[in-house]
Structure 1
Amino acid sequence: MKAVGDPSPILHTETNGDIWVFGYGSLMWRPGFDVLERRMARIHGYHRAFCVYSHWHRGTPEKPGLVLGLDRGGSCRGAVYRVAKASARAAVDYLDARERVTDVYHPHWTTARTAEGHVTALTYVPRYRTHIQYAGKLPAAEAADLLAHGVGNSGPGWEYLENTVAHLIEEGIRDTHLLELRDRVRVIRG
């Protein structure tokens, strides 16, 4: 992946001027911006993981929750969205506001492979090693506890996990790690 500048990325455009955005969590079912086209895609070099402490969406600084991030290594199936050139700035501004509340994520460009070919897509990845909210790979019991008990401005962590698993299954994505985590959280919640 190639890094882009802060605070919001310089818009990379395909030859037609449109941009692509890669989603791997809630962006898959709730993009929140105008979309011309949606495709299933895979990126390499990252995998979907609950690797970010949430101080806003699913927790607080005093009682953190966990949210998804693209952690290093492996690959990740998700969705790419084509956004018209005329809507690109509004989409990026929206994504910056949604993904960068505490600045744990930063924008990156990546190559997403789709059935129709490769596209260059914008995504957001955690600030590894440099941000206090980057949790990395937590023990399963600790991750489950944070998801079971974390509640933030977007609701409880367990609900986010349940929604994520359900939507991934609808898309034909079976993430065994998230399924195991969901089962652990269900046991904790009774």
Structure 2
Amino acid sequence: MTANTIDHNRARYNFEGIESVWLFGYGSLIYKVDFPFLEQRPATIRGWARRFWQGSHDHRGTPEAPGRVVTLIEQPGARCKGMAYRVSPNVFEYLDVREKNGYLRFSTTMTFDDGSHAEGLVYIATEDNEAFLGEAPEADIAAQIAAAAGPSGPNSEYLLRLAESLRALGDDCVHTFAIETHLLGNEPVAVKDR
């Protein structure tokens, strides 16, 4: 599958007659909320683990030197904490472009902090897209992130802002925090001050 998924996503769901849709964010959608929403609630999805296995050629890297951003990998028993947004379906006109580098919209069941549930959508970059980088040692992922930058800024900023946001949500994402530890051990002081 090509990395540009805009047309795939627009053909996947028909929002006719639907006033609002829940969207689950587990990466930059937690801290970079540059879209209108009707409601925002912390939520968790089950059976998925957050991993820095997706290449970023358009935001946090370039085609020649891709950065690494998160996607979700199926993992029985896993829980992924994030932020859910109730949005108008027209918001996907923008989000499909923002998340175009290999991400497809999938249905998911979200559990809110009060124990209630809702069906919603989540963007996941599957391993069959051209930008998928796959598993690597966390120290190697950190080194790639430290060296990458793109139109949206340094890849390290993405990692550090995500780690900060996950702590604010009370999430203990071992994978993200291990990469952060490697990055901060190898990065110039200026990055630590962000």
TM range (shorter): 0.7 to 0.9
Structure 2, gaps ≥5 residues long = 1-6, 189-194
Q: CA deviation at 1:120?
A: 0.9
Provide the rounded CA distance (Å) in 1 between the counterparts of 2:8 and 2:152.
25
Give the 3-state SS of the residue equivalent to 1:35 in structure 2: coil
- What is the RMSD computed on CA atoms of the aligned residues? 1.9
Q: Is the CA contact 1:53–1:64 (under 8 Å) kept in the aligned structure 2? A: yes
Q: CA deviation at 1:170?
A: 1.3
Q: Is the CA contact 1:52–1:69 (under 8 Å) kept in the aligned structure 2? A: yes
Give the 3-state SS of the residue equivalent to 2:184 in structure 1: helix
Check 1:35–1:116 CA distance in 2 against 1; reply closer, same or farther (3 A cut). Answer: farther
Provide the rounded CA distance (Å) in 1 between the counterparts of 2:94 and 2:34.
8
The one of 133, 137, 140 equivalent to 2:138 is 140
Provide the rounded CA distance (Å) in 2 between the counterparts of 1:120 and 1:26.
21
Question: 1:10 maps to what in 2?
Answer: 13
Provide the rounded CA distance (Å) in 1 between the counterparts of 2:18 and 2:103.
28
Question: 2:96 maps to what in 1?
Answer: 96
Question: 2:39 maps to what in 1?
Answer: 37
Which structure 2 residues correspond to residues 67-86 of structure 1 after superposition, within 5 A? 67-73=69-75, 74-83=78-87
Identity %: 34
The one of 169, 175, 178 equivalent to 1:177 is 175
Structure 1, gaps ≥5 residues long = none
2:67 counterpart letter in structure 1: G
Provide the rounded CA distance (Å) in 1 between the counterparts of 2:29 and 2:42.
12
Provide the rounded CA distance (Å) in 1 between the counterparts of 2:14 and 2:82.
21
Q: CA deviation at 1:26?
A: 1.4
1:80 counterpart letter in structure 2: A
Check 1:12–1:43 CA distance in 2 against 1; reply closer, same or farther (3 A cut). Answer: farther
TM-score, length basis structure 1: 0.86
Q: CA deviation at 1:79?
A: 1.0
Q: Can you list the C-alpha shifts for 1:141-180, whole angstroms capped at 9, x where unaligned?
A: 2201111111011111111111111111112112222112
Q: Can you list the C-alpha shifts for 1:100-146, whole angstroms capped at 9, x where unaligned?
A: 1x3x1111111111125111111111122x22321222111220111
Which structure 2 residues correspond to residues 112-131 of structure 1 after superposition, within 5 A? 112-114=110-112, 115-128=114-127, 130-131=128-129
